[in-house]
Amino acid sequence: MNIKKTKRNVNYLPYLLLITVIVFSLIFTNTLGNKVNELNYTELVNELNNDNVSEINITPKNAYGVYIITGKLKNYDKNEKFKATVPYTDTLISTIYNTAEEHNVKTVSNTENIDWLSIVINVVPLLLIGVLFYLMLSKLGSAGKGTFDFGKSRAKLSEEGGTKTFKDVAGLKEEKEEVQELIDFLKNPKKFTKMGARIPKGVLLVGPPGTGKTLLAKAVAGEAKVPFFYISGSDFVELFVGVGASRVRDMFQQAKQTAPCLIFIDEIDAVGRERGTGLGGGHDEREQTLNQLLSEMDGFGENEGIIIIAATNRPDVLDPALLRPGRFDRQVTVGKPDVKEREEILKVHAKNKILDDNVNLKFIASRTPGYSGADLENLLNEAALLAVRRNKESITMEEIDEASDRVLMGPAKTSRKVSDYEKKIVAYHEAGHAVSGIVLPNGEEVHKITIIPRGVAGGYTQMLPKEERTLVYTEKELKEQIITLLSGRASEETYMHEISTGASDDFKRATKIARSMVTEYGMSSLGPMQFEHQSESVFLGRDYNQTKNFSDQVALLIDQEVKKIIDECYKEAKKIVSSEKKLIEILANALIQKETITKEEIEDLVEANSNYKIKEEDKKESKDETKKEVKEDSKKDSKDDSKKESKKDE
């Protein structure tokens, strides 16, 4: 079997740095540890005559015409020596030689005028610094992305397209059909050009974060099997003006050489924001980059066979010139999945997970409305981590329930001590929410109630809609949502005779719904008018972004209408919690004992409440009686009409 050996790129920079440090340390230890004593000619001769010199080293004359004489005295330490400078005369040197011979001093004469230590100290560090600087520049300049390659494109190229296909993208049926034309065009462009059709030059994928925009672009490249350039919008913008525009030109130049091909720009709002806006003027570098991108997409030059796919979750801030026909011709909205799509997404992410037999992905999908694909992947991953932490062999529904709570509210504060009074008031608060959801005709189903603190919440009631609704809500349904939110405070006031700070988030959500009913939906006595809307000042803060086209008098009327809706809903909430005293006490006591009760346990408790059961039967009987009365009235009306017609005929 032949094993293909891959060439490894060894990085010599760390080794060179280590050698440089060692050399410098040796030089400094040698130079700092040596002690040199300066002697003149007379002192040197006296030391020789007194027999104090142990060795002597005579260097021939240097460029200055002097001799350098070094040596050691008998009373010197190991790293100590002397140095004497003697003018070049035969008499002086011969005197030193003769005196040294008389006292049997070891004499060494250097035949070459080379000071190796000075060479090592002065030359070697410079060489090492030069080599180090060269390697750093070559490292930065590798792969065409170095210090001197500012204008080169940062887009990465995949020759065979992406590794993902449509099989890896669960759901998004309509979105796949929208981009299928791009794949057909890239595979067989003549079929379209023969008919005179022009394929969109750009497709903009719009949607909330985590819905699969980038994954869909990868799947398009994988299905088409064409060269695929991918880059982030922030990779264009640099400190120096003109660099981003140069990178755009270089990217399209590379794309022309590999056409037909795909270019995917992720987070295009980083470079495609609207020009000429903002408090401090525009950003020259970003605007020049955007201008170059607009020119390359649909300018004087033709870029045939190049299709651009871009993704963003902020289409409202994009420049209008970027969205016109000829550039991003088509916008594909990638929304959050419905219950069927969530089940398909869970199946994709559950392939490499060991799930217990009791895990029902369809049930999990029904319990996770509003979750994106990334949220569902994170849910199963958190459940797997919990299963490993608990030393289990498979993932059970217990881990998935806990993971869902962790994703929504954060980890449970099991170590926090809660007083009995606080536990009781939280239990009655959450029971109030649950009872309103049970009693109201359009109320949501209660799936779980807990008084275990999570995050900043002391407890919460998990309520899910019976049917998924994302587009249309009636006035009655919105008011019932407000009633459910206010029922927690109403229950506290009715049964604990106290009010707490736990309802602050409920008030925030209820007020937001009520204000939207008045200012946006026209559900008040002010009539079908919209008073507030989001402005187009995309660079201002959100607090400045709310445009108010009304007078102070109308503002007062809006506040009065909002208060009127809140007051009416709060009265209705108090009425509900007062009439369902037995059910609230049953739920509150169960919460105090168990701290968490599930949907099945709630249903058992509701059935055990005979009063509530009678009320439900009374509602059914009253509905049946009204239906009978309507039928009898319609029969009487039809008989009377037939009698009148017969009289007319006679």
Residue type, position 530, single letter: Q
Sheet with 202-206, side-by-side order of all strands:
156-158, 228-232, 261-266, 306-312, 202-206, 328-333
Residues 588, 496 contacting (CB under 8 angstroms): no
In whole angstroms, what separates CA 456 from the centre of its chain? 22
Q: Among 208, 27, 214, which Cα is nearest to 128's?
A: 27
Q: Count Cβ atoms within 10 A of the Cβ of residue 102 and give its class: 0-12 exposed, 13-18 middle, 19 or more buried.
A: exposed
Helices (H), 188-308: 189-195, 213-224, 243-257, 284-297
Residue type, position 29, single letter: T
Residues 152, 247 contacting (CB under 8 angstroms): yes
Stated length of the chain: 650
Q: What string of H, E and C letters represents the secondary structure of 49-75?
A: HCCCEEEEEEECCCCCCEEEEEEEECC
The residue behind tokens 């060439």 is 7
The residue behind tokens 């004992």 is 593
The residue behind tokens 């997404």 is 345
Antiparallel, parallel or unpaired: β 80-87 and 35-39: parallel
Kindly state the tokens that stand for 479. Answer: 């008011």
- DSSP class of 623: H
Give the separation between CA 170 and CA 167, rounded to whole angstroms: 7
Calculated CA dihedral for residues 626, 632, 638, 640, nearest 10 degrees:
-120
Question: Hey, is 210 helix, strand or coil?
Answer: coil
State the catalytic residue, choosing from 175, 223, 382, 430.
Answer: 430
Residues 342, 365 contacting (CB under 8 angstroms): yes
End-to-end CA distance of the chain: 109
- DSSP class of 9: -
Antiparallel, parallel or unpaired: β 445-450 and 596-598: antiparallel
The answer to whether residue 607 is catalytic is no
Residues with Cβ < 8 Å from 197, sequence gap 6 or more? none
The secondary structure element, H or E, covering residue 205 is: strand 202-206
Phi, then psi, of 608 in degrees rounded to 5: -70, -15
**Residues with active-site annotation:** 430
